[in-house]
């Protein structure tokens, strides 16, 4: 266990750091249009509407669970 703690774990941590550093610095070598953040699009006016749940739909699951909870 000491071998793992002294040699393998630190090597694993350094490798993870190096992979992360390469991934972050790879943006330097990308073309400028790919290195830029993704463009934001304005939300369209035709968003789907979601109906609010009715009282009957909300009370149905609790009425089925109620006997199991109260015994």
Domain boundaries, the chain: 1-28
- Give the span between the Cα atoms of 1 and 67, in whole angstroms: 53
> Is the pLDDT score of 45 beyond 80?
no
Q: What is the pLDDT of residues 16-25, one digit of tens each?
A: 999 999 988 8
Query: Has this prediction a pTM greater than 0.75?
Result: no
What's the mean per-residue pLDDT of the chain?
77
Contact 19, 11 (CB under 8 A): no
| pLDDT over 90, % of the chain | 30
Q: What is the pLDDT of residues 49-69, one digit of tens each?
A: 666 656 555 555 666 676 767
* DSSP for residue 45: S
Please state, as a whole number, how many other Cβ atoms lie within 10 Å of the Cβ of residue 26.
10
Contacts of 35 (CB under 8 A, 6+ apart): 27, 28
Closest CA to 4 of 19, 15, 12: 12
């Amino acid at each position: 266990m000491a071998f793992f703690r002294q040699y393998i774990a630190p090597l694993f941590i350094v490798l993870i750091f190096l992979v992360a550093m390469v991934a972050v610095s790879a943006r330097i070598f990308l073309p400028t249009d790919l290195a830029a953040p993704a463009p934001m699009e304005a939300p369209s006016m035709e968003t789907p509407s979601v109906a609010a749940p009715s009282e009957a739909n909300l009370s149905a699951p609790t009425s089925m669970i109620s006997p199991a909870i109260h015994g």
